[in-house]
């Protein structure tokens, strides 16, 4: 009996050792399973102390934890310093920061990836929908007003018969959204308060026109399209908090306005931008980026822009590959922006490819310098075998590679048909070559076939030499063996943080 009580006492002490910081549980390898046992529904952030995105998330994450705790919810939030708790990071396949996973019913296996925004209300809403019914039932005016007041966006179905066919369809549509609260009511007082005379579905929001009423055939697809088209502002500012909503949505065409928030004509430019946006709701996202913010300078660089060149407009598509478009006019008026977007939707625009001017001494060094304007004639010269490094000046891995690449250039500088070259891909773009990470190494063998061979082998002089001497057949490793840790860079969220969110030294730097 004494032994039994000692075990129980030790268990109590152990549970007490799960520390909290601002209502967030501090989790480690030693207390992780115990936390799952004590708190069956727990959201866990795997972070790095130096990560910019993690620092930006921290106050919102703590605020969400406090909201749930104050409500008496059983849902808890926890955090793991993945740079210290490396075993946990590896166990849960943490490959970047922050990584956020939801553990439901105390189960450690197959946690759900968090997929909503990074503001407190987004986190709370997502968790409540994951642990409760997809559609809440509102009893009266007070509950309805609270739901609308507490959320940036909410959707309410007004149904006299909550078991009707349309109501059931509404419930199915609600299940598709993790980050927006859905509710329904049949209360006459609520109908009267919100001036609803018949069964309706209304999206309430704290921006633009304030509310949108669904109009059309009630199908799951139509309801989902209605919510997706109206849940974001006509013009949304790009920040850490809004990035997941921007890039997690179904709209993959984005028009970006780079504009200093402190400029005297800021409001006029925003008004013109918003006016143009009205005609493209659901087709193109209109995004404003403050060009004065230091963290946004990498984004400007990505588009070949400088602060002094702003305001400026660019349009991108985020399908399989990112494609950029630039308006012919620098005018920022509703008419000019509308015309630009109309040409895009009609398929009448050509992609905008950046290029520097050709340096006068581009071929004097052992490593030839390529830009957009001379790439075609050099890389696809049918008499030459051309090995190109696509790099970024700020990329740490590129800086590490530079001495070896110079040695390779020196080795082949007098070779009659081998050229070693490099291209700064932050200011030069090629239609035939999509660069997703730095450094990217590609080989363009001699001949008229315009072949492009990826080099994915070890980045050392011997491997490069073997690769070149074999005509790209040996030493480069087949594309299928490329390191799984290489990361795509298809969205601006990766660019916003000047510090890489990656933590594996073998990774390429993100674009």
My answer on whether 378 and 280 are in the same domain is no
On the question of pLDDT at 435 being above 90, the answer is no
Long-range contacts (CB closer than 8 Å, 24 or more residues apart) made by 447-455 = 447/382, 448/382, 450/380, 454/479, 454/482, 455/387
**Residue 510 falls inside a structural domain:** no
My answer on whether 227 and 323 are in the same domain is no
My answer on whether 385 and 460 are in the same domain is yes
My answer on whether 213 and 280 are in the same domain is no
**Residue 494 falls inside a structural domain:** no
Catalytic residue check, 8: no
**Residue 323 falls inside a structural domain:** yes
Q: What pLDDT sits at residue 352?
A: 86
**Residue 361 falls inside a structural domain:** no
My answer on whether 155 and 183 are in the same domain is yes
Q: Is the peptide bond before 439 cis (omega within 30 degrees of 0)?
A: yes
Catalytic residue check, 310: no
- Cβ(430)–Cβ(440) under 8 Å? no
**Residue 488 falls inside a structural domain:** no
On the question of pLDDT at 481 being above 70, the answer is no
My answer on whether 26 and 56 are in the same domain is yes
Q: What pLDDT sits at residue 300?
A: 87
On the question of pLDDT at 67 being above 70, the answer is yes
My answer on whether 376 and 337 are in the same domain is no
Of 131, 162, 180, the last residue of a domain is 131
* Count of structural domains, the chain: 4
My answer on whether 185 and 223 are in the same domain is yes
Supply the CATH number for residue 171's domain: 3.40.30.10
On the question of pLDDT at 1 being above 50, the answer is no
Domain that holds residue 244: 236-346
My answer on whether 95 and 110 are in the same domain is yes
- Cβ(438)–Cβ(494) under 8 Å? no
On the question of pLDDT at 131 being above 70, the answer is yes
**Residue 37 falls inside a structural domain:** yes
- Cβ(400)–Cβ(506) under 8 Å? no
Catalytic residue selected from 8, 54, 310, 341? 54
Q: What pLDDT sits at residue 244?
A: 76
Q: How many residues does the chain have?
A: 511
Catalytic residue selected from 8, 51, 310, 341? 51
My answer on whether 181 and 212 are in the same domain is yes
Predicted confidence (pLDDT) per residue in 331-378, tens digit:
999 999 999 999 999 999 988 888 889 999 999 999 999 999 999 999
**Residue 419 falls inside a structural domain:** yes
Of all residues in the chain, the percent with pLDDT exceeding 90 is: 63
Q: Give the pLDDT band (50/70/90) at residue 83.
A: very high
My answer on whether 33 and 124 are in the same domain is yes
Q: What residues contact residue 450 under an 8 Å CB cut-off, 6+ apart?
A: 380, 432, 444
- Top pLDDT among 4 and 149 is at 149
My answer on whether 26 and 126 are in the same domain is yes
DSSP result, 295-327: GGHHHHHHTT--GGG-SEEEEEEESSSEEEE--
Specify burial of residue 452 (Cβ count, 10 A radius: 0-12, 13-18, 19+).
middle
**Residue 432 falls inside a structural domain:** yes
Of 131, 151, 177, the last residue of a domain is 131
Of 65, 99, 131, the last residue of a domain is 131
d(CA 190, CA 321): 47
């Amino acid at each position: 009996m004494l032994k039994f009580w000692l075990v129980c006492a030790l268990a109590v002490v152990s549970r007490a050792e799960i520390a909290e910081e601002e209502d967030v549980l501090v989790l480690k390898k030693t207390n992780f399973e115990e936390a799952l046992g004590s708190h069956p529904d727990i959201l866990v952030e795997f972070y790095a102390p130096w990560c910019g995105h993690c620092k930006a998330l921290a106050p919102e994450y703590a605020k969400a934890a406090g909201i749930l705790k104050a409500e008496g919810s059983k849902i808890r939030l926890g955090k793991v310093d993945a740079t210290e708790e490396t075993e946990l990071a590896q166990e849960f396949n943490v490959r970047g920061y922050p990584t956020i996973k939801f553990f439901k019913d105390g189960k450690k296996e197959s946690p759900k990836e968090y997929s909503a925004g990074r503001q407190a209300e987004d986190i709370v809403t997502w968790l409540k929908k994951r642990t409760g019914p997809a559609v809440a039932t509102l009893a009266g005016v007070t509950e309805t007003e609270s739901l609308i007041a507490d959320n940036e966006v909410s959707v309410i179905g007004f149904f006299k018969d909550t078991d009707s066919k349309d109501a059931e369809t509404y419930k199915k549509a609600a299940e598709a959204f993790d980050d927006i609260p859905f509710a329904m009511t049949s209360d006459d007082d609520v109908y009267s308060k919100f001036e609803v005379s018949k069964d309706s579905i209304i999206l309430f929001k704290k921006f633009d026109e304030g509310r949108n009423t669904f109009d059309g055939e009630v199908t799951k697809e139509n309801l989902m399209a209605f919510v997706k088209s109206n849940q974001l502002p006509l013009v949304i500012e790009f920040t850490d908090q809004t990035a997941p909503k921007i890039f997690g949505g179904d709209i993959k065409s984005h028009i970006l306005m780079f504009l200093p928030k402190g400029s005297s004509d800021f409001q006029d430019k925003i008004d013109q931008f918003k006016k143009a946006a009205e005609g493209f709701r659901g087709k193109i996202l209109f995004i404003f980026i403050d060009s004065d913010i230091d963290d946004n300078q990498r984004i400007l660089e990505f588009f070949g822009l400088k602060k002094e060149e702003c305001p400026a407009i660019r349009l991108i598509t985020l399908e399989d590959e990112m494609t950029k478009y630039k308006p012919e006019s620098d005018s920022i008026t509703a008419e000019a922006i509308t015309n630009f977007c109309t040409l895009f939707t009609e398929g009448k625009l050509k992609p905008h490819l950046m290029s520097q001017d050709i340096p006068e001494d581009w071929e004097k060094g052992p490593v030839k310098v390529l830009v957009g304007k001379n790439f075609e004639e050099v890389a696809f010269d049918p008499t030459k075998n051309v090995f190109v490094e696509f790099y970024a000046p700020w990329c740490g891995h590129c800086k590490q590679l530079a001495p070896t690449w110079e040695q390779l250039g020196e080795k082949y500088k007098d070779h009659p048909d081998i050229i070693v070259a490099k291209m700064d891909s932050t200011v030069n773009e090629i239609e035939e070559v999509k660069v997703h990470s730095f450094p990217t190494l590609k080989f363009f063998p001699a001949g008229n076939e315009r072949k492009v061979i990826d080099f994915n082998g070890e980045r050392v002089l011997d491997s490069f030499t073997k690769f070149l001497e074999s005509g790209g057949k040996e030493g480069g490793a087949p594309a299928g063996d490329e390191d799984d840790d290489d990361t795509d860079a298809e969205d601006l969220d990766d660019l916003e943080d000047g510090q890489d969110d990656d933590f594996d030294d073998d990774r390429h730097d993100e674009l």
